[in-house]
Every structure is written in C-alpha cells, then in structure tokens.
Structure 1
Amino acid sequence: MRNIAWEFRPKTLEDFVGQQHLLGKNAPLRIILQKSIQNNHVLPNLIFFGPPGSGKTSLANIIATNLQGIFLNFNATNFKLDILKKELEKYQHTLTKPLVFVDEIHRLNIAQQEFLLPILEQGIIRFIGASTENPFFTLSPALRSRSFLFEFRYPERNDLEILYNRVITKYPPKHDFMEIKNWLLDNHTGDTRAFLNILDVALDIDSIMQVKKESLEKMLQNSQGAKSQDTHYDYISALIKSIRGSDENAAIYYLACLIQAGENPEFIARRLVILASEDIGNANPNALNLATSTMLSVAKIGYPEARIILSQCVIYLASSPKSNCAYLAINNALDDTKKRMDDVPSHIKTHAKDYKYPHDFGGFVQQIYHIGKQYVHFKGIGFEKTLQEWLEKIKRK
C-alpha cells in the first residue's frame, strides 16, 4: 500500500526541502553537518525545535544515515533510562560513540535530563533531541548549555510546491488537478506530513473519479479540527490577550479552542505562568503561585481533568488586577546593563567593613546601594499599592 508521506521523506540533505535559514548555502547548521559528515568531525549535541511536520525527525535520520554509526532512536513519551543504560554498556569499552536521538525531548523529566548531562559533557555519545516546544521553557539550562539549539519553521508555499511536483511526477493524476493543487498549497497547515497525506488521499480519489476540493475540505476539517498553523500561535495569543484584557469569557472560549485542538496542556500552563508574572505581577502575587501550581498539576494529571484546572487558573488570572511593573523594570535595567555595568560601591562589596547592617538600625538605614535611575515604577494597582506604602513607611522611619 502506497504511503506518500513515508516514500517522499528526504533521505539526503539535498532532498531536504525548506529550513533554508538553517540548511541553505553557508547556513550555520549545514556547515556543522557538512564538517561532521564529510570530514569526520565530532558532531556537537543538537536540539531541533519547531512545529510538527517541519522536518526535525527527518533531518535526524539523514544525519544518522550519513554518519553510518550506531543509531539509538527513542521517544520521550515512553523513554526509560534503564534501556539507554543497557544500550550504552555495550559500547562502554569501545571507541564507538552511538548517536542517540530523543524525539519529544520536552517530555523528559528532570531526573532523565540530569542523567544525560555527564554523558553529553564527556562526549560518550553523539546526541540529537527534537521538540515541538520551546526548549527555553521546557528543558533545564544545564541541558541547553551543552547543546546547539536550532529552531525549525513552518515550510513556505514554495517548499511544499517542490514536494507536490515530486509526487505528481511519479504519480501523475488522471484528471485535471490544477484546482486541487492550488487548494492544497493555499490551505496547507504548515505540517509537511499532513500536506502529503491529504495529497495521497486526493490521488487515491483521482484514480476513480474527478476530485472535488469540497470533499477534501470536509475531510481536512474532520481530521484536523482546529489544529492548524494558527492554533499554536493565534489561539494562544488570543487567550493571553483576553486574560490581559480581563475578559474572562473570551479567555475561556480560546482555552476551549486550544483544548479542542488537542494542544498540550503543559504548553498552555507555561504560558499562563509567564503571563502571571508579566501582566499581573505584584498587583496580585498569588497569581504566580496559582499558575505555577496549575503547571505542576496538569503535568501530572493530563486531559481530560486538566481542562478544569486550566479553566480555574484562566478565570483567576483574567479576574486579577493587572500590572506590568516587574516586566518593565527588569527590561529597562537589562537595557542599561547591556551598555555598561557599574562598579559595586565599596561599602556593600564582600567583607566591606563600613557596611551598615540595617537590622542594627531598626530595620532601615540610609546608605547608597547604587547611583542610577529609578527602574521600579509602581502603578498603585492591587497589592502593588501596599508594597509601595510599605517602602514609603520603611524609608520615612
């Protein structure tokens, strides 16, 4: 039985379509791979992240084929450390360095990530991870620091047209296919695998009768629901902006859209944690506590019950007073420190003898900590008003 998505999966770098920012001529990832494959250079640890169907796993397989070594392929959804340990023991006293690939790497727990750290540090294996989630939110800093991170993007229309032409050249349709071609290219979700699958179905129908785009539209809607290129970005953006705008009903609607589309509850929860600090902050400090608890809870529980936890959090955040004071303060300070970092005043350096210990003066004493501009501008909203009043009382005293 024909499977176009599998058959036309790229086997070489030359076959690979898209990701020109990474694999085009003189692009960074291409240079790294060419040196590793052609000149037998050591392959650095790599982490690919980006939307599904953008070629992350395909590229990992291409690298494995070209390196012609031991390839250990894992998926983090059922990853077990014992299995990896047993595999690595086989090569413990050899010069062989297996290439270990872990798909959905964002699903590794902390213990599993920490196990990888010394292995990567010592170069015992060559390593590639792939994720549909941003590793800056899902992976430990230690694991990220030992790897080169490359972001994959949705393929362009021209990329998919190249794939379309390859397929049609081998499997030419019996009927006029121009309308179907234009519909496929205009309505693709950015998922190459899904694009080839629907093309496969269209060619099957074409072998019997003329294909109607209306039939494909219905099939695509039923099979994918709201899961499209817009789901991951536009719906989460609408959710965040609705919460920021204190529209609890709109926020719950967009949360429902994300759940209906099968969005990972952990991804939604992480965005809520960021919002709790960025848009609410000290106007309601408990918002961050609840969002963090939500993130931990949905990771353990999952759907369908996770929908209730997410709903509770979304309503709470939308109903909370809003302040971006903390967000603006750190950004302004970072802008200044990029230009210059001042010396620390001598009296507050380590072991300074002329430092005045505030507790010896009833909790506060006037002394210079930094000669610079004001970064924190309270807005007098919610609990921030209380914090501002506390500071004023402390300094007056």
Structure 2
Amino acid sequence: PHSIFYGPAGCGKTSFARAVASGANYDFYEFDGGNLKIDDFRKILKNYENALNKPLFFIDEIHRLSKTQQEALLIPMENYKALVIGASTENPFFTLSSGIRSRSMLFEFRPLSSGDFEELLGKIREQISFSIDEEAKEYLFKSSGGDARAMLNLLEFAVTLDENVSLENLKTLRQNALKEGAKEDDTHYELASAFIKSLRGSDENAVIYYLARLIDSGESADFIARRMAIFASEDIGNANPNALNLAASTLSIVKEIGFPEARIILAQCAVYLASSPKSNSSYNAINAALRYVQSEEILKIPPYLKNHTKESKDYLYPHDFGGWVEQKYLEKPLVFYKSKGIGFEKTLNEWLEKIRSKG
C-alpha cells in the first residue's frame, strides 16, 4: 500500500523504501519534496501506461509539498498507477492533507537505540578493520542522537584518521561530522516539546537555548517557524494579537532566506512570543464548540440570519445602530468563549461590556 514513513533523520526511512522497491520488483524513483516538479512525475507515469510493472515513487521530505502538489498525487494514488512512499521528519497529521493520509498507511520510525547501533557497528566491523574502546563507543552512540547516518559519518572520519578509534579523536572530529543537538535521550520531538513548553512558561533564556539546540541538530527553519505560528494563536491569542502577525511573517521569511540568517529571525520571534502575555481562551473556545456540535442536537439558524429569505428583512444591520444592536444570533444561549482578561483581551472585554451596556 501507499505509505508514509515519519520519524527523525537517520532512522532508516529511505533504506526501508529502497528495500520495499527491490523486494517487490518496482522501478524506484526518488524525489525531493522541496524540489519536486509535478510534470516530471506525470512524464514517468506516462511511460508506464501499458506496462505490466509499476513505478515506486519515493518522496523524501514529503511534508514540503505544496497543497497543489499534494492534490496532484491523489488520482495516481487512488488508481494505483504508482506506489507512493513518502518520508518525513514531521508528523503527517500536521503537514499532509487528509486525502494523502486516507490513501496511505502511516508508519512511525523511531531513533536507533544503543542496541541497534551495536548491531550496526558489528556489521561494519565485518567489512572494515578498526578498533574502538568502550568509552569511545559509548560517546559515538550517544552523540549520534539515534541517527544512523550521523553515527556512520563520524565513524568514517575517525577510521580514516586512525584505525584505533579513540574518544579524543571522536570529540575532535565531531564538530565537523555531525551536530550534537538531539541526543539519544532527547529526540527531535522532545526538543520541540521543551522549546514550546519554555515559550508557554515565558522563559526567554530557555527558549533561546532550545532554539539553538534545534538549529544545531539540523532542524529545518520551516518546522520551527510553523510551531511558533501555532503557538502564537494557541497560547497567546488575543492577549497579544501581534504575536500571530510576527510568527506568520517569520514563517514566510525563513522559507525565503534559510540558514544561517534564518536563526536571527527565529530568535527574534521566539523571544517576542516568550515575552508576550499568554491566553488560550480562543483555543479553549473552539475546542468546546467542536465538542458541542459533535455531541449535541444541531441548533436552527434564526430565519433573519439566512440569505434571501422573506424573514431577511427582520435582520438588524448593526451599522445602522452605531455599530451594535441587541439581537439574537443563536436559538438558545451558549457560552464557549471565556476571556481571561489578559493583555489586549482586557481591552476587547471592556469594549464588549461598553456596547452591551447600551442594550
């Protein structure tokens, strides 16, 4: 079946996709989600119109596909004109359309454990002659953050330098071979979680630290900016509406400039979000409303709120009454939004109280 492999870098997603293609006798085509051209995709499909076998399209970083590109995949996926396997370091529930997800099996790949690294190291030693002591081996495993590719890169550097792999050499080489950001015990997801929780806790120094860790571990600027945009609305909301504007601008800008300069924009936004007043009133309100509409009887829309009905003439146009007029908008009173009165929310509360007092 079509599949989405998601998990941190270096945990075997691409290798497993190649194994699937080889085992099932598919012709393997690999694409980068950031540079995929749908026309190339269609040209390949055309070559297989009358063929007995099918191509396997492996799309690395599938989360980087635009909405239009994702939609273009739906028909060939639906008709099984090709087997599609996508790989992503991000959760597909946040980054892929429901159409892609519903046509695919989702598989989460986890970081390699010390046991996995031990097994991999054993296979390498069958092919290459070198020695490594326990202390150096422990450092090699832990500093690779569950990333097989990072471990192999560092080991390759070390063996090239000296067949007797030492802790000292590994530490000297590691800055050039890999980044330390994500250790085995605090993976991609845990670092992101610590970053968001520090934002929520208004600890700007912790925020900058975890941001540096995310950047140093090779995390994409897009991923970090998207998380901050969500945070700006979910955890700050109308306590400081400008937070969402800054987060949206950050997301747009980092897509254009990339690292290393993107670190500056990300840092500015992160400090601003951490320093802003916090409120999740809107977040709580929409969740409460969704629970209600999914579990309770649907309320009738008052006739004068509908378009083009004879009752429409009964609608009171607020602008004809100085901006507000008392009017019933729900069949029965419901309360979903409960302001916390924090930051700019207080100003909004005062305005609502003022206009409603006229009624």
* TM-score, structure 1 as length reference: 0.75
**8 Å contact from structure 1 (residues 281, 288) kept in 2:** yes
Task: Tell me the CA shift for residue 203 of structure 1.
Answer: 4.9
**8 Å contact from structure 1 (residues 364, 394) kept in 2:** no
Q: CA, structure 1 residues 390+232, in 2 after alignment: closer, same or farther (shift >3 Å)? A: same
The aligned amino acid for 1:197 is N
**8 Å contact from structure 1 (residues 231, 261) kept in 2:** no
**8 Å contact from structure 1 (residues 347, 354) kept in 2:** no
The aligned amino acid for 1:80 is K
Greater Cα offset, 95-104 or 59-68: 95-104
1:364 equivalent to 2:326? Answer yes
**8 Å contact from structure 1 (residues 137, 270) kept in 2:** no
Q: CA, structure 1 residues 354+244, in 2 after alignment: closer, same or farther (shift >3 Å)? A: same
Task: Tell me the CA shift for residue 303 of structure 1.
Answer: 2.6
Q: CA, structure 1 residues 367+85, in 2 after alignment: closer, same or farther (shift >3 Å)? A: closer
Q: CA, structure 1 residues 367+74, in 2 after alignment: closer, same or farther (shift >3 Å)? A: closer
The aligned amino acid for 2:327 is V
Secondary structure in 1 matching 2:317: helix
State which of 67, 73, 85 in structure 2 corresponds to 1:128: 85
**8 Å contact from structure 1 (residues 231, 258) kept in 2:** no
Q: CA, structure 1 residues 261+160, in 2 after alignment: closer, same or farther (shift >3 Å)? A: closer
Q: CA, structure 1 residues 183+150, in 2 after alignment: closer, same or farther (shift >3 Å)? A: same
Distance across 1 between alignment mates of 2:156 and 2:44: 38
Q: Which residue of 2 aligns with 1:342?
A: 296
Task: Tell me the CA shift for residue 126 of structure 1.
Answer: 1.3
Q: Which residue of 1 aligns with 2:154?
A: 198
Task: Tell me the CA shift for residue 51 of structure 1.
Answer: 0.5
Q: Which residue of 2 aligns with 1:378?
A: 339
Q: Which residue of 2 aligns with 1:116?
A: 73
Structure 1, residues 135-167: CA drift from partner, whole Å, max 9, x if none? Answer: 333333433333222221112222222222333
Distance across 2 between alignment mates of 1:55 and 1:115: 27
State which of 258, 279, 287 in structure 2 corresponds to 1:302: 258
The aligned amino acid for 1:146 is R
Distance across 2 between alignment mates of 1:234 and 1:55: 20
Structure 1, residues 238-294: CA drift from partner, whole Å, max 9, x if none? Answer: 443443333445534543444444431111110110110111101122221221122
Secondary structure in 2 matching 1:71: strand
Task: Tell me the CA shift for residue 67 of structure 1.
Answer: 1.3
State which of 178, 183, 199 in structure 2 corresponds to 1:224: 178
State which of 156, 162, 166 in structure 2 corresponds to 1:212: 166
The aligned amino acid for 1:263 is E
**8 Å contact from structure 1 (residues 54, 190) kept in 2:** yes
Q: CA, structure 1 residues 198+312, in 2 after alignment: closer, same or farther (shift >3 Å)? A: closer
Structure 1, residues 66-93: CA drift from partner, whole Å, max 9, x if none? Answer: 1102222222243222322221221224
The aligned amino acid for 1:379 is K
State which of 216, 235, 244 in structure 2 corresponds to 1:279: 235
The aligned amino acid for 1:226 is E
**8 Å contact from structure 2 (residues 150, 177) kept in 1:** no
Distance across 2 between alignment mates of 1:176 and 1:303: 35
The aligned amino acid for 2:56 is L
Q: How many residues align?
A: 348
Distance across 1 between alignment mates of 2:194 and 2:295: 38
**8 Å contact from structure 2 (residues 55, 83) kept in 1:** yes
State which of 32, 40, 62 in structure 2 corresponds to 1:75: 32
Task: Tell me the CA shift for residue 46 of structure 1.
Answer: 1.1
Q: Which residue of 2 aligns with 1:30?
A: none
Structure 1, residues 190-248: CA drift from partner, whole Å, max 9, x if none? Answer: 001222333445555664xx432122122224422333344734554444344333344
Distance across 2 between alignment mates of 1:300 and 1:68: 39
Secondary structure in 2 matching 1:73: strand
Q: Which residue of 2 aligns with 1:92?
A: 49
Task: Tell me the CA shift for residue 371 of structure 1.
Answer: 6.0
* TM-score, structure 2 as length reference: 0.82
Structure 1, residues 20-66: CA drift from partner, whole Å, max 9, x if none? Answer: xxxxxxxxxxxxxxxxxxxxxxxx22111110111110111011011
What are the equivalent positions in structure 2 for 1:123-272 lying under 5 Å apart? 123-171=80-128, 173=130, 177-203=133-159, 207=163, 210-229=164-183, 230=186, 232-233=188-189, 235-272=191-228
CA RMSD of aligned residues (A): 3.2
Q: CA, structure 1 residues 113+218, in 2 after alignment: closer, same or farther (shift >3 Å)? A: same
The aligned amino acid for 1:128 is I
Structure 1 vs Structure 2: percent identity of aligned residues?
49
Secondary structure in 1 matching 2:256: helix
The aligned amino acid for 1:280 is I
Q: CA, structure 1 residues 79+290, in 2 after alignment: closer, same or farther (shift >3 Å)? A: same
Distance across 1 between alignment mates of 2:190 and 2:271: 20
Task: Tell me the CA shift for residue 395 of structure 1.
Answer: 4.2
